[in-house]
Every structure is written in C-alpha cells, then in structure tokens.
Structure 1
Amino acid sequence: MAPHLARLILLLFLIFPRLSAVRHVSVQTGGSITFPCHYDQYYINHMKYWCQGLGWDVCSYVVRTDHPKSSGKTSISDDINKRIFTVTMTDLTSWDYGNYRCVVEINGGTDIMIQWFYLSVTPGTPELYVEQQEVTGVEGGSVTVCCYYSNSGDMKWCRMGGDCVSGNSGTLNGTSVTLTRTSDANIKTVLTVTMSGLKMENTDWYWCRVGEREMPVHITVSQQTATQRTSKMTSTTQDPTPPQPSASPTAEPVQTDNTSQGAEGNMEEVHQRSVKVLHISLGMLVVVTAGILVTWKMWRRPKDNKAKDQTTNNSVDPFPEADDDVTYSTVIPQHKTQLKGQTKSADPDDNVVYSSLALQVTTQQRAAAQQ
C-alpha cells in the first residue's frame, strides 16, 4: 500500500497546482474562439482532449490530440515545445454554450483536468471581447491590444501561468506594459494594453481580464528583417499610432507592430532628402559652370584687345610708307597755238593747261594692305 499511497500523493501534488478557477468567456453568435491549455512537462507525450460537461463523471470528449483532431466546428492542436494545446471553435450558436474542460490522460484512463472554461454565446455584443486573438510584433517593437468591455471589476493583463499587471503600468518578463482606459464614440469602454520593448521570449498566450470575464490573446514576436532594421535606422522618432478598432468581436489575425508601421513615413522622408540633395547638386553645378565662363572670358580678353589694336592701326594708315613713293608731276603751263585770223585772248586762263597728279604705290605696299 505504501508505494500506491506515495504515487497518489505525488499525483495530487502534480495535479492541484495546475488546476485553475473557471474562466468565463463570452462570444457573439456566429463568431469563433480559441482556448489555450497549458500543461506540465510530465505530460508532453500524453494524449490531451477537449470535453464538454460539468462533473468529473460527465465529460464527453469532443476532439483529441490523437484522433480525431477535428470534429465538426471544433479542432485541436498540440505544441509540445511550448507545452500548450489549443482548441478552436467556429461558427458558434446558442447551442454551444456551457462548460468545457482541457484534459490530460494518464495511466491509460485516469484523467487530469488542467483548465475549466465556461462559454457563453450571445446574439448581442459580448461583455468582454477583443478584435483579434492573434497579434504579431517584432523584436524591439511594440504591440497594442484593445479590450472592449461593458461589465465592471478589476482590470488586469496577465501572462498565462505567470504574473499580472494591474493599475496603469508594470512589467512582464522585463517588458514594459501600460494600461489605458478610454471611451470611444459608441460609448464603449476600452482597455488599451501596450507592450513595449518586445523580446522573443514574450511570445505566449495572455489574458485580458475585467471582473469575472476573460479573453485569451496570443502574441507572436518575430525577429526584425534587414529592411525593418534599415528603416528604423533612417527614420526619425515618431509617436506610435494605435490601430483604430472596429466593432466586430470576431477573432482574426492582424499585424499590429508599430515599428514597422513607421516604414512608409520613413520612405517619404528619404524621398524628401533625395530631392534636397538633387537641388544642392544642381546649384553647385550652376556655380561651377558660371565660374568657368567667367575665367574663360577673362583669359580671352587680352587676346581680343590685342586683335582690336591691330585692326585700329591698320585702318588708320593702310599705307604707312606711301609718302616715300609718291611722285609729283610738274605742272607746266602751255600756251595754245593761236590760229590764224584769231585775236589773241585777253584771258590768261585760256592759255594754261594743267596736268593730273598721280600717286604711285609700290607692289609691296599693295600686298601689305591686302593682308
């Protein structure tokens, strides 16, 4: 009996620390929900299943990690590295409400309940919901989760199986967490959760909790790509703009990393810088061109003046030595022969004959003038 008693005590020691209080989850009709179930490392190779029922003896399984892994609108998957199996229920109706349990099978039949959920399906807006159950971010960046609620109670952001942050701010595993309460235009109260300075180990399931209502949210942190690192280095610091929520409470994946969102604004700034550099380059080109033109004109000015002086001298005296070669003819007055029978004229000009004056220019002077 002693060995059996020892095994029973060990089993109870393993079971009860893993038991959690019932989690109340509310979903709108037609929506979907994913439930995370965390188990101990001792149960990595054990079969897990999802069952519906309230009592220990009344629990009919719906899906199992061995077979079947899906049944109708419900499916199950097991991540043995993170020791979490998840159950997803889609297209929910009022018939799907009730108690559900995450169960691990040991010793070929003994079941261990590791989590208990109560699911309510409402045609109206749920008391607590999030737009997206799956949120992604990059290392060093931040993510924002908006939790819409209409009930009252303490507000917390908790890591599954870990600590919680309440009030206005705190830390989870070295990551900064801030909680902000606001009301939107539709008079809905919103609890905005922002996790900054993300690390790879922040990838996990979290719970948004208001009073007795809870909603699971999975955050995935990935490494920055080369493009994201370059954009971050070239960008200026900008205030992150939280995503604008819609009124749909259904769960769909969404990218909410604020660091990568700044990339488009960064590209615009890079474009503006390129245009500015182009303008400066064009201005410098104009200045250099003007300097070259001024230098060329200054260099050409002495030659132009010299050519102008030569032209002026040539135009003043085309035959500078012509005086030496001028030949003057002698003017000799000649008397006209008086015809017989005529009376001698009294005008002395009638008896004078003038010769023409001719300038003789040498061949050498003509050649110099033509040059």
Structure 2
Amino acid sequence: MSFYSLVGSGTLFGLFLCISDVESMRTLKNVAAKYGGSVTIPCLYEKQYKANPKFWCKGYYWASCSIVAYASTNGITSLADHPAQNMFTVELNPVSDSGTYWCAAEIGSKWDPDDRNYLYLTVSQDPDLSVMESRVKGNEGGSVTVQCFYSTAYWNKQKQWCRFKDEWCNTVRKTSTAQTSAVQITDNGSSFRVQMSNLKESDAGWYWCSAGDLQVPVHISVGAEAPGLPDNQKEDKVSNFEDTILAFCIISGLLLVLMVVGLVIWKLKQKQTGQLVTNKGYDHSLINTDVDYGAFVFRQPKSNPNQSPKARENAVTYSTVADEQCKASSASEPEVTYSTLKISHNPTGLSRSP
C-alpha cells in the first residue's frame, strides 16, 4: 500500500470519527408546536460530556448558527442540564419561530468539534399533531393515558408511540390497535390513545407521539404507590372527596339561604312592630275610667217669720246628690246613683242620710 493510500485511509478514518462524535448527541427530528404555547425538547448526550457546557443554537448551518441559551439560562428559552440522565432539556415558552435548532455540548478543541445534533421546529396556530397533556404523572403499578391528536392530512400516516432513551417504538396503523402487555394504542381516525399500565419506575422519562414525520414530546413521571392502596381505591378516594366537597357546598348554600330568609323575616317583623308603636299613641276612648258626677241641690226652706231664732239656727237644708258613672262613649244608658245629704249647720260636719 502506497504512502498516499495510507494517508487517505487515515483521513477518512479521522473524518468518520469526527462525524460519529458529532452524531452522538440525540434529539427529535421534526417537532410540531402551537404558536404561543410551550414545548420542551430533550437532548441526550454521551456521558463523557457531563461536565461540558450545554447550549441551544438557532440557524440552518451549524457554522453560522446563533447561540440562544446556555445551561441554567431562564427566560423565553430555558435550558436545564440533567447530568444523572446524560440529558439536557430546552423549554421554549412561548413558542414563536419555526426553523432549524441545534442541541450542543461545547468541547472547544480544534480537532474535536462540539457534540451537536439538529431538529426542525414547525410552529403553527393549528398544528397537525398535538397532545392533550405534555407532562403526565402516574404511580408504580398504576396506569397513564396519553391522547395524541392529528389533522385529516395525517389520517393515513403511520402513528407511533416511542421511548426517547432507547428509541423503542410501538406502531399503529389506521383504525387498528397495537398492544403489548404494558402498552395499548387505539386509533379512532382523529386521534390515537396510548395507555401504559403496570407502570414501573424505569418507565419514567421522555416519549414522543408521531404521525408521519411530525413528533410531539411527552414526559411521563412515575411515583411510588401508596402502600395497600390500589388504583381503584385511589379513584374511589378521589371520587368520595369530590362528593364530600359537593355535599359541603350544597349544605353551606342551603344554610346561607335559610339565614338570609330568616333575616328578612326578622326585619319585616321589626318594621311592623315599629309601625304599631308609632301609630299607637293615646286613645282616650279606650281609657276605662269611671267618673262619678255628683249634683248637689241645696234647698233652702222658706223662712217663717214666726220661728224663733233657736229654731232657725237648727234648721236643716236637704240636698240631693246624683252620682253619674260615665263609661267610655260606648255606654248606652248612664247609671245614676241618688243620694240624699243632710246638711246641718252643726260645725262638726255633715252627715249623709240613708
């Protein structure tokens, strides 16, 4: 083998190593996102780059792309590094621009280019592929459900549910159902439903829905199950709690209505009582006081010139007293009491004759 052949072979081998290094970074390929919404992109790197700076770059060509965010950057674009998983995530919120973006780990050596890979972000008001929830949580031994919606343009395209860390995929075709012991996928013509059951902690991580060439990332977290509490009991517990809250709201509402009604009735009674007190006053016609009227008639006997002075001194004057009992103006006949008074000129007083 000639010298030039050896040099050429070495160059090709070195170029292959560079290319393989560049391609060690993994991410999605064509992500669909809603304008004004949010999306999180996972980027998986080799473990030897745990300590290297990570960044997110925008531009069609790598050589001319502009760095948008570094790790631990917060803002419209947030980048978080997760060394334990050999992964960093880029969150765009709100999403605005379609275009080519790059996940990259900075290496900085002239002979060892940065570790990188690109994806295309397709942004629209009504994306052709979307999910009900991009972050779903379940418990060990339980199940989770992800709903992926697609437009009519992708009705006859291949549908997949894939795990990001090992690119394991479950494929569904039109109106068919694919299932394993842990995953069931059903396509109804406008969306496909993914149900993962018997969850394990190892099932946690990033997945994606795909229809044709479009992808939407979904993160699933798996927590420890409460001991001795199966899923159906958890659902019953949640249902009972909701029923309790509803009953409490209804009873509270009824009590409030009763309090308002009672307050209104009390106010009306108070108002009526006040009117009675105001209008009562004094009604003299209702005063049941008996009044006795006495009429004294003094009759002076005619003087007799033949009487002696002693006889005239002992003369008696008779008077008639009429006691009238006057009741309230309702009495039909006044009661009259007649009395005869004997008035003497005796200074000791007067006496009443029977």
Shorter-chain TM-score tier: 0.5 to 0.7
* CA–CA separation in structure 1 for the residues paired with 2:231 and 2:210: 37
Task: Look up the match of 1:223.
Answer: 224
TM-score calculated relative to the size of structure 1: 0.55
Per-residue Cα deviation, 1:23-48 (whole angstroms, up to 9, x for no partner): 22222221111111111112111111
Task: Look up the match of 2:88.
Answer: 85
Q: 1:182 to 1:6 in 2, by over 3 A?
A: closer
Task: Look up the match of 1:261.
Answer: 235
Question: Higher relative contact order by CA 8 Å / sep ≥ 6: 1 or 2?
Answer: 1
**Partner-residue secondary structure (3-state), 1:25:** strand
RMSD over aligned Cα atoms: 3.0
Confirm or deny: 8 A CA contact 1:52 1:99 kept in the other structure.
yes
The code of the aligned residue for 2:122 comes to S
- Of the three residues 10, 16, 22, the one matched with 1:15 is 22
Confirm or deny: 8 A CA contact 2:22 2:113 kept in the other structure.
no
* CA–CA separation in structure 2 for the residues paired with 1:54 and 1:119: 12
* CA–CA separation in structure 1 for the residues paired with 2:31 and 2:16: 33
The code of the aligned residue for 1:32 comes to S
Per-residue Cα deviation, 1:265-297 (whole angstroms, up to 9, x for no partner): 5789xxxxxxxxxxxxxxxxxxxxxxxxxxxxx
Confirm or deny: 8 A CA contact 2:55 2:70 kept in the other structure.
yes
Matched, 1:164 2:138: no
**Partner-residue secondary structure (3-state), 2:84:** coil
Task: Look up the match of 1:301.
Answer: none
Q: Which runs of structure 2 are paired with 1:264-283 in the superposition (5 Å)?
A: 264-265=238-239
Confirm or deny: 8 A CA contact 1:142 1:195 kept in the other structure.
yes
* CA–CA separation in structure 1 for the residues paired with 2:226 and 2:216: 31
Aligned residues: 227
* Runs (5+) with no aligned partner, structure 2: 1-6, 243-354
Confirm or deny: 8 A CA contact 2:18 2:113 kept in the other structure.
no
Q: Percent identity?
A: 33
Task: Look up the match of 2:120.
Answer: 118
The code of the aligned residue for 2:56 comes to W
Q: 1:38 to 1:126 in 2, by over 3 A?
A: same
**Partner-residue secondary structure (3-state), 1:57:** helix
TM-score calculated relative to the size of structure 2: 0.57
Matched, 1:198 2:199: yes
Matched, 1:177 2:151: no
* CA–CA separation in structure 1 for the residues paired with 2:92 and 2:24: 27
Confirm or deny: 8 A CA contact 2:206 2:218 kept in the other structure.
yes
Matched, 1:43 2:43: no
* CA–CA separation in structure 2 for the residues paired with 1:10 and 1:233: 50
Q: 1:114 to 1:178 in 2, by over 3 A?
A: farther
Q: Which runs of structure 2 are paired with 1:327-366 in the superposition (5 Å)?
A: none
* CA–CA separation in structure 1 for the residues paired with 2:218 and 2:201: 16
- Of the three residues 64, 77, 85, the one matched with 2:70 is 64
* Runs (5+) with no aligned partner, structure 1: 184-188, 236-259, 269-371
Confirm or deny: 8 A CA contact 1:38 1:114 kept in the other structure.
no
**Partner-residue secondary structure (3-state), 1:81:** helix
The code of the aligned residue for 1:82 comes to Q
Matched, 1:211 2:220: no
Matched, 1:138 2:139: yes
Confirm or deny: 8 A CA contact 1:169 1:176 kept in the other structure.
no
**Partner-residue secondary structure (3-state), 1:140:** coil
Q: 1:37 to 1:182 in 2, by over 3 A?
A: same
Q: Which has the higher strand share?
A: 2
